[in-house]
Chains A and B, each alone.
Chain A
Amino acid sequence: MVSEVPELTNFGSLIRFALGLEAATSTFYEAAAALPEPGGPPDLFRELAAQHSARHRLLERTRQQKLNEMVLEPITGLDGRRYVYYASVPPRGQIGARARTLEAVAARFYEESSVVAKALLTEAARTLQRLAEENHRNEARLVAMA
């Protein structure tokens, strides 16, 4: 399964896409960890599932408390095609690669959206940047595991 190409035209749609990405990623890790042969350390997958769940809650809080009037502010410069992701669980041998790609796409999305957010939403931009850094760390752990 592949996500739709998001239309990132305002901060509301940006956060909505991020919420979908985090939910899908968390579900992906949960499903992978539950396989009889998970294609990677199940503990790590479970940890990452929980982490992405927590990130989902953080983003909900960000939408609720940090976007304020900017929720409908038009934004430009984000090309949704760069953030299309695959979140279904592939055959065993490809699970690690799929996880690394998911983290890489997320890192790219959060890095680029934090730049767009910076001018108007400093606090939200910091959150997005923090999420990108976390994605990079996750990717590194997954690479080390491979």
Chain B
Amino acid sequence: MAQQTSTLLPEVKAHYGDLKNFIGGKWVASTATEWLDDTNPATGQVIARVPLSPKEDVSAAVASAREAWEEWRETPPISRGRYFFALRDLMEEHFEELARIVSQDHGKIIDEARGEVRRAIENVEVAAGIPSLMMGYNLEDGAASGIDEEVLYQPLGVFAGISPFNFPAMVQYWFWPYAVATGNCWVAKPSEQDPLVQARLFELIEKAGFPPGVVNLVHGAKEAVEAVCDHPDIRGVSFVGSTPIAKLVYARAASHGKRVQCGGGAKNLLVVLPDAKLDKIVPNMISSVYGTAGERCLAGSMVVGLGEAHDPVRRKFSDAASKLKVGYGLDETIQMGPVITKKHQERVMGYIDSGEEQGATVALDGRRVKVSGYEHGYFVGPTVLDRVTEDMTVAKEEIFGPVASFLEMGSLEEAIEWINKSPFGNAASIYTSSGKAARDFRYKVRAGSIGINLGIAAAMAYFPFGGMKNSFFGDLHPQGRDAIRFFTESKVVITRWV
């Protein structure tokens, strides 16, 4: 008899109750009159209620952050860094719990959730080294003989971060560790669709001992976002979401004189050359397209097998995609979870319908997927659309779901031109054995992240992460040196002793 071990990991809690804001070092009830049900996308069950905090709650958080700021900015960088060491240890201690909350609330499979929590921790680890990262520079006799010149990097005050549903743990951590380590204070507004892991992370932030007011949490939606954009005491805003909203946030916050960095949508192309090693690359392409059920800004969305590569790539890809096991992410044997909400499920299916109506061939249809035991979950199975042409809606708009659209093109130049014509510029990947082709691709393509034989080119914490064109609005990307520059302003001091 085979040894039957349960592969379904336990949920941390069945229900998380009514969520509270964290303001000035205290958990406080929101003054919201409207609440949103937070559902587990695999079961459709309500697992928490999220307050849609009004602008008064945002103002209270900003006031608390503003009050904390003077003392925090005078805390030496090395001392500020120590809070991050403490937080890092707590995150490691609660690693598995955090990952399970992500999986339960967002729907992604547990290994993806673990990867996401790891990414968040890595940003904390990098920010802990803030004394080295934040150093300025100087030059003796830089202005003239006996006149020295130096540059200092100084914090600005209060920043706020608005993050999306697709990486509920990680995206806030692209921002706030750098903002706070450089001496600013922070107001976080996580996605109202899956805020549970941020609520838990804030309990760890509290336990790590950050001074009251330095890091604040406000749950909410549109009104809270608008309040963040408009508040005169917020000096800068970090945002990730869809392109239309990114554009709105960028314009509105910038109109109030704030620094803004806004990540938007994507339409990423995977280009396969005839010399690519299909057996090695197809699993990587599958992971790119269907990882996190396609709800990633770096997800491969369009696949181009150049010339003779098209048919074998499409066949092998469809075959591998058809074998993916769809289900609840907390089941360790599952390879793809649900999408975030019922509404999003309908939206993704609508895109598949539109592709079919406009002439694409549905080579693998995920619309009728059934997951036994999870009949109320928001599942869309792996889908492959073939013979997609550039005039089709599925070739132009971000689907944000487990759908691969195959296009036929004759040359690498044509593929590069297609990518560069797209209004999006988040990521693009090439699969090839040719160094020359890879070099041409990375040189010419206008996208913020380039993958060479890699379908998800996700920058590590010490590199900047972000796109170009309508995939990013702003100047400096999250993470890496860009983050340090975004959260500080430079001051030049010229000194002459007489």
Contact check, B115 vs A2: say whether CB atoms are below 8 A apart: no
Chain B 322-334 interface 0/1 with A at a Cβ cutoff of 8 Å (1 = within): 0000000000100
Chain A 54-98 interface 0/1 with B at a Cβ cutoff of 8 Å (1 = within): 000000100111001101111010000000000100000000000
The answer to whether residues A64 and B2 also contact, given A12-B111, A71-B115, A72-B112 and a CB cut-off of 8 A, is: no
Contact check, B115 vs A16: say whether CB atoms are below 8 A apart: no
The answer to whether residues A65 and B92 also contact, given A1-B3, A3-B2, A16-B332 and a CB cut-off of 8 A, is: yes
| Minimum distance in angstroms from A135 CB to a CB of chain B | 19
Contact check, A2 vs B2: say whether CB atoms are below 8 A apart: yes
How far is it, in angstroms, between the C-alpha of A10 and the C-alpha of B109 when the chains are bound?
14
> Closest B-chain residue to A24, C-beta based?
B3
Contact check, A69 vs B115: say whether CB atoms are below 8 A apart: yes
Chain B 229-247 interface 0/1 with A at a Cβ cutoff of 8 Å (1 = within): 0000000000000000000
Give every chain A residue within 8 A of B118 (Cβ-Cβ): 64-65, 68-69
Contact check, B114 vs A71: say whether CB atoms are below 8 A apart: yes
Partner of B1, one of A1, A60, A64: A1
| Minimum distance in angstroms from B142 CB to a CB of chain A | 42
Contact check, A74 vs B3: say whether CB atoms are below 8 A apart: no
> Closest A-chain residue to B2, C-beta based?
A4
| Minimum distance in angstroms from A72 CB to a CB of chain B | 6
Contact check, A71 vs B111: say whether CB atoms are below 8 A apart: yes
**Count of chain A residues with a beta carbon within 8 Å of a chain B beta carbon:** 22
In this assembly, does B389 line the interface, its C-beta being within 8 Å of a C-beta of chain A? no
A-B pairs with beta carbons under 8 A, tally: 48
| Minimum distance in angstroms from B465 CB to a CB of chain A | 13
**Count of chain B residues with a beta carbon within 8 Å of a chain A beta carbon:** 21
In this assembly, does A41 line the interface, its C-beta being within 8 Å of a C-beta of chain B? no
> Closest A-chain residue to B115, C-beta based?
A71
Give every chain A residue within 8 A of B114 (Cβ-Cβ): 12, 63-64, 71
Chain B 96-118 interface 0/1 with A at a Cβ cutoff of 8 Å (1 = within): 10000000000000011011001
| Minimum distance in angstroms from B149 CB to a CB of chain A | 41
Give every chain A residue within 8 A of B284 (Cβ-Cβ): 73-74
Contact check, B95 vs A64: say whether CB atoms are below 8 A apart: yes
Contact check, B1 vs A2: say whether CB atoms are below 8 A apart: yes
Partner of B458, one of A24, A63, A69, A76: A69
In this assembly, does B372 line the interface, its C-beta being within 8 Å of a C-beta of chain A? no
| Minimum distance in angstroms from B299 CB to a CB of chain A | 13
In this assembly, does B145 line the interface, its C-beta being within 8 Å of a C-beta of chain A? no
- Contacting residues of chain B (1-30) with chain A, CB-CB under 8 angstroms: 1-5
> Closest A-chain residue to B284, C-beta based?
A74
Give every chain A residue within 8 A of B291 (Cβ-Cβ): 72
Q: List 23 A-B contacts (CB under 8 A).
A: A1-B1, A1-B3, A2-B1, A3-B3, A4-B2, A4-B4, A9-B283, A12-B111, A16-B332, A24-B3, A63-B114, A64-B95, A64-B96, A68-B118, A69-B115, A69-B458, A71-B111, A72-B112, A72-B115, A72-B291, A73-B284, A76-B279, A87-B3
A residues neighboring B (CB under 8 Å): 1-4, 9-10, 12, 16, 20, 24, 60, 63-65, 68-69, 71-74, 76, 87
B residues neighboring A (CB under 8 Å): 1-5, 92, 95-96, 111-112, 114-115, 118, 279, 283-284, 286-287, 291, 332, 458
